[in-house]
Structure 1
Amino acid sequence: MTRFVLRRLAVSSLILLVGSLLMFVLTINSGDPLEDLRESTASNRDQLMQSRITNMGLDQPWYVRYFTWLSGAAGCLIGKCDLGTDRAGSDVTALLAQAAGSTLRLVTIATFAAIIVGVIIGIITAIRQYSGFDYVVTFISFLFFSLPVFWAAVLLKEFGAIRFNDWIADPQISLLQAIVTGLVLAVILSSIMGGDWKRRLLTGAITGVFVVAALMYFTAVGWWRNPALGVGLVALVSLGFAVGLVALITGLGNRRVLYSTLTTVGVGIVVYFAVAPLLDEPNWLLLAGLFVSSLVIGLLIGRLWGGYSKGTAMALSAVTATFMAAMTFLDHLVYAWAGFLQLKPRPISTIGSQTPNFPGDFWETTLDWGTQLLLPTALLTLVSVASYQRYTRASMLETLNQDYVRTARSKGLGERTVIVKHAFRNALIPITTIVAFNFAGLISGAVITETVFGWKGMGELFKSGLNNVDPAPVMAFFLVTAIAAIVMNMIADIAYAFLDPRIRR
């Protein structure tokens, strides 16, 4: 494996070098970097032109400029990056750090959300092949896959920001709107759950009644502007998650694993009250420490309860602890929503990644950061989730038709065991490849999204460099996207070896 990784790194480095040379040559020959000054009527035009020529090194041969950039970029290997300056004299390394932070934050969240949603829906549609749910999801997937990003972004800004901001000023949901919403969700959930028509009808009826009642109750008590979850709802949702997780992975018959996750929920409720004073005004370092502590607690509980299923119990308890930590974090965010609306009556902005000079506390500032991130993340997720859903469905269908799956079923194994332990792991191999390519592709594809939503990220850096025929920002963009592609493909290759031991040899 070590030899394989080193060989791939060597080949990837060569590809990166050739690609950087090609990108540099194409950029410097894409236009005239002095065009705007040549048309200027300023009295100091000649001085400005000479200053830009010196600043950008235009008086040097192209290969000298390239090797100057390459030597500075090579310094990143020892922690001394020097990516040069743009035509205005700004340090590109500093610009890249700020831009990469915004874009990677956006792309990483969108990638994880798309993977989770796409893989889950792909598995369900494979199991429910040729059902009504399968046909509807297939249609929606093709719709999202072919969706023009700029058009979808404009729609999201109109309905997800402008109209939502108008509605939240006086949030009202009529009985008709609640009934329509309940019917839609009832049809979706009953289709996912499957079963005979009686089971579908019961599932749909319970879902519809619950949704209508909840929407009308929330509207009556003004929950939309003054929301709260509370320890009761956090505990109830966490309990349902723990039971569902055990039922999906091992089955409820494995009592030690079930007791392990339930104990984790119980300890999590105690911790909820214990850490409440610390979360009044926390910081990210404190939250990171609490998150790691929750993982350790989950692992310890799983080890104590696990018995012969120690590994599974530790894993599921850690996942349950992570979910409870996320629910506790969400509880504090929801509680801060009322104060956030006082500071920002129109909560979702259509431009920018954060509100300048926002005066809120930690939770209100986090809400501002999250609401700014919501629309572009939703857009990139919608575009990506279609690919994951289609590939997961196709891979699962191919795996479910393999001989070893039929053998597992003939032995009398339950359908859950066949799908989770036999089919899904092997179906992950082609999906891993898609994740690697999609992550790097999203960074470059975020150029349009960032332009529409006014984000100062990698897209803005690339676009400004290309418009100004300035190679330094363009090469910085290339460096990040190319390294991301190499790293993600390397991770995919290593993941293959864990998913299929035959690949190790």
Structure 2
Amino acid sequence: MLTFILRRLGATVLVLIVASFIVYTLSSIGTDPLADLKQSNAANREERIQQRIEQLNLDVPPVLRYFVWLGGAAKCLVLQCDLGISFSRSDQQVTAAVASAANSTIQLVTAATIIAIIVGLTVGILTALRQYSGFDYTVTFLTFIVYSLPIFWIAVLLKEFGAIQFNEFLADPQISPWVIVLTGLISGVVFMSMLGGTWRRRLITFGSAFVAGAGLLTILAVTDWFAHPTVGIIGIIITGVAAAIGTTAISTGLSNRRALLASFIVVAIWVAAWYPLQYLFFYVPEGWMLILMYLVAIGLGIAVGFIMGGDDKKQVARTAAIVSFITFLVIVVDRVLLVYPDYLQRIPQSGVIATIGSQTPGLRGDMWFQILDGFAHLILPTIALSLVSIAAYTRYARSSLLEVMNQDYVRTARAKGLTERTVIVRHAMRNALIPIATIVAFDIGALIGGAVITETIFAWKGMGSLFVDGLRRGDVNLVMGFFVVTGVLAVVFNLIADLMYSALDPRIRVS
């Protein structure tokens, strides 16, 4: 495998050099970095023009100037990148501009990508298993509509209804009875369509989902939750138990009592630790300490899984680790919501859900304030990016799983008496994920390269806006900084996709 990786990296270096040469040459020929100075009426215009010519080596032909840039870019191999300066950003180093933009974009696309993959694959699998049902037809219809919608239109609708209208609701959160009834009806129809079965089973599912959906919204209305949001110990117990049951059902099956018991033990440990953690959280001022606590949560799940696993330690430990991570995440969310009342008093009167930028200017507060503020700014662009990706992943997952379900080895697995969960999760899904791995890998690289339209609408200063600014101002160094990041990411994620093939299918050898 090491030989394969080195050979691929050697070949892609040549591809990057050729591609960067083409991009640099075309950018240099097609743009004029002196355009803003030529239109200036300043008395020292000629002096500033001459200064920029010397600063950017504009008196050197573009072909030769490229090799000057390449010499600085080659220093990245020894972690001393020199990509030049950006005159459009007050002579800032391109490496600093790219680092800031990449950090902003990664914040934007990480949550969107994770949500899109999890929701898209889950819905795609459900539609494949419920092929030609009402649920399948409805999801197919909705995904085609969402996939065909322009992203700028989705973003504008989210601004209107997800921010402006919803902020007005949060100012006076009153839930009318007809909204509660409608929520219950929608919940009942969705779950009835997903689970299917006989009419008696469907009516039971509809009634249970109706009561659960309408009851939850009623509780939120009675407790005035939207004005004072919190999770609390009861919410942690409910979400922890639900995570334990759901994760165990997917990972090992509920028949594996050791995995289920280990998951419940992990939830019980975190419920017992909830009150002491409230004091500990006052002494967690840095993000790296919170990351360390996440690692402890995963380690706790693995330890409990190995203790309770018996002969199936690996699967039990994996299940308990996932449940531990989810439960601790809910505890962190509960801690963040504690600062919500103070946060409302510190932000402008525009509302909780922000529509522009990545943070509130001048906001002072500890890490929990910053997390809540970041979430308030992330929610709309994250939904905008996720919706289109979810629609795409749903279609890919459905078609890939349907193709695999008709293979001989799936019928053989069923003939051997394996449970349907084992056939789907361990046999069918593993091969169905192979074509999806390619799509996911390239999508992640493309998203980190910058969602230009989304960043523009939500005034998000990321990689997309950096690239547009570089082209508009003729700042070739800035354009090349964007190219270095996106080009390397394309190579890396392409390599990751190849390695994932061999991990998903043992018959594929990386050699």
Tell me the TM-score normalized by structure 2.
0.96
Q: Which aligned pairs between 1:302-313 and structure 2 lie closer than 5 A?
A: 302-313=305-316
| Alpha-carbon distance between aligned partners in 2 of 1:249 and 1:296, rounded to the nearest angstrom | 18
Aligned partners of 1:465 and 1:474 also within 8 Å: yes
| Alpha-carbon distance between aligned partners in 2 of 1:74 and 1:146, rounded to the nearest angstrom | 42
Q: Which aligned pairs between 1:244-255 and structure 2 lie closer than 5 A?
A: 244-255=246-257
For residue 322 of structure 2, what is the aligned residue in structure 1?
319
Which of 286, 295, 298 is the matching residue for 1:295? 298
Residues 64-83 of structure 1, C-alpha deviation per residue, up to 9 Å, x if partnerless? 32112111111111111111
| Alpha-carbon distance between aligned partners in 1 of 2:355 and 2:256, rounded to the nearest angstrom | 49
| Alpha-carbon distance between aligned partners in 1 of 2:36 and 2:294, rounded to the nearest angstrom | 53
For residue 72 of structure 1, what is the aligned residue in structure 2?
72
One-letter code aligned to 1:307:
G
| Alpha-carbon distance between aligned partners in 1 of 2:39 and 2:81, rounded to the nearest angstrom | 35
| Alpha-carbon distance between aligned partners in 1 of 2:241 and 2:354, rounded to the nearest angstrom | 35
| Stretch deviating more after TM superposition (285-294 or 37-46) | 37-46
* 2:355 pairs with 1:342: no
| Alpha-carbon distance between aligned partners in 2 of 1:125 and 1:274, rounded to the nearest angstrom | 44
For residue 270 of structure 1, what is the aligned residue in structure 2?
272
| Alpha-carbon distance between aligned partners in 2 of 1:432 and 1:165, rounded to the nearest angstrom | 38
* 2:24 pairs with 1:49: no
Q: Which aligned pairs between 1:82-231 and structure 2 lie closer than 5 A?
A: 82-87=82-87, 88-231=90-233
Q: How many residues align?
A: 505
Residues 318-349 of structure 1, C-alpha deviation per residue, up to 9 Å, x if partnerless? 11111111111111122322222222251122
* 2:360 pairs with 1:355: yes
One-letter code aligned to 1:479:
V
For residue 469 of structure 1, what is the aligned residue in structure 2?
474
| Alpha-carbon distance between aligned partners in 1 of 2:178 and 2:260, rounded to the nearest angstrom | 41
| Stretch deviating more after TM superposition (124-133 or 193-202) | 193-202
Deviation at 1:243, TM superposition (A): 1.8
Aligned partners of 1:225 and 1:337 also within 8 Å: no
Deviation at 1:445, TM superposition (A): 5.1
For residue 396 of structure 2, what is the aligned residue in structure 1?
391
For residue 5 of structure 1, what is the aligned residue in structure 2?
5
Aligned partners of 1:264 and 1:320 also within 8 Å: yes
Match of 1:438, SS? helix
Match of 1:188, SS? helix
One-letter code aligned to 1:28:
S
Runs of 4+ aligned structure 1 residues displaced above 3 Å come to none
| Alpha-carbon distance between aligned partners in 2 of 1:156 and 1:61, rounded to the nearest angstrom | 47
| Alpha-carbon distance between aligned partners in 1 of 2:288 and 2:23, rounded to the nearest angstrom | 39
| Alpha-carbon distance between aligned partners in 2 of 1:64 and 1:370, rounded to the nearest angstrom | 46
Which of 380, 386, 402 is the matching residue for 1:381? 386
For residue 236 of structure 1, what is the aligned residue in structure 2?
238
Distance change in 2, residues 1:11/1:152 (3 Å): same
Residues 448-500 of structure 1, C-alpha deviation per residue, up to 9 Å, x if partnerless? 11111001111121111100111111111111111111111111111111111
| Alpha-carbon distance between aligned partners in 2 of 1:104 and 1:247, rounded to the nearest angstrom | 32
Deviation at 1:227, TM superposition (A): 1.6
For residue 403 of structure 1, what is the aligned residue in structure 2?
408
Deviation at 1:420, TM superposition (A): 0.9
Unpaired runs of 5+ residues, structure 1, are none
For residue 257 of structure 1, what is the aligned residue in structure 2?
259
One-letter code aligned to 1:164:
F
| Alpha-carbon distance between aligned partners in 2 of 1:281 and 1:356, rounded to the nearest angstrom | 25
Deviation at 1:219, TM superposition (A): 2.2
Deviation at 1:281, TM superposition (A): 5.1
* 2:42 pairs with 1:37: no
Deviation at 1:440, TM superposition (A): 1.7
Residues 212-235 of structure 1, C-alpha deviation per residue, up to 9 Å, x if partnerless? 233233223321011221112201
| Alpha-carbon distance between aligned partners in 1 of 2:232 and 2:506, rounded to the nearest angstrom | 46
| Alpha-carbon distance between aligned partners in 2 of 1:98 and 1:194, rounded to the nearest angstrom | 49
Aligned partners of 2:450 and 2:463 also within 8 Å: no
One-letter code aligned to 1:493:
D
| Alpha-carbon distance between aligned partners in 1 of 2:357 and 2:253, rounded to the nearest angstrom | 46
One-letter code aligned to 2:293:
L
| Alpha-carbon distance between aligned partners in 1 of 2:9 and 2:366, rounded to the nearest angstrom | 45
Residues 190-225 of structure 1, C-alpha deviation per residue, up to 9 Å, x if partnerless? 211222222222222222223223323322332101
For residue 377 of structure 2, what is the aligned residue in structure 1?
372
| Alpha-carbon distance between aligned partners in 1 of 2:504 and 2:16, rounded to the nearest angstrom | 28
| Alpha-carbon distance between aligned partners in 1 of 2:23 and 2:364, rounded to the nearest angstrom | 43
Deviation at 1:364, TM superposition (A): 2.0
Unpaired runs of 5+ residues, structure 2, are none
For residue 499 of structure 2, what is the aligned residue in structure 1?
494
RMSD: 1.5
For residue 452 of structure 1, what is the aligned residue in structure 2?
457
Tell me the TM-score normalized by structure 1.
0.97
Q: Percent identity?
A: 47
Deviation at 1:56, TM superposition (A): 2.1
| Alpha-carbon distance between aligned partners in 2 of 1:356 and 1:47, rounded to the nearest angstrom | 37
One-letter code aligned to 1:58:
L
| Alpha-carbon distance between aligned partners in 1 of 2:196 and 2:338, rounded to the nearest angstrom | 36
One-letter code aligned to 1:363:
W
Deviation at 1:284, TM superposition (A): 1.2
Match of 2:451, SS? helix
| Stretch deviating more after TM superposition (123-132 or 380-389) | 380-389
| Alpha-carbon distance between aligned partners in 2 of 1:271 and 1:19, rounded to the nearest angstrom | 54
| Stretch deviating more after TM superposition (237-246 or 453-462) | 237-246
Distance change in 2, residues 1:418/1:251 (3 Å): same
Q: Which aligned pairs between 1:6-21 and structure 2 lie closer than 5 A?
A: 6-21=6-21
One-letter code aligned to 1:209:
V
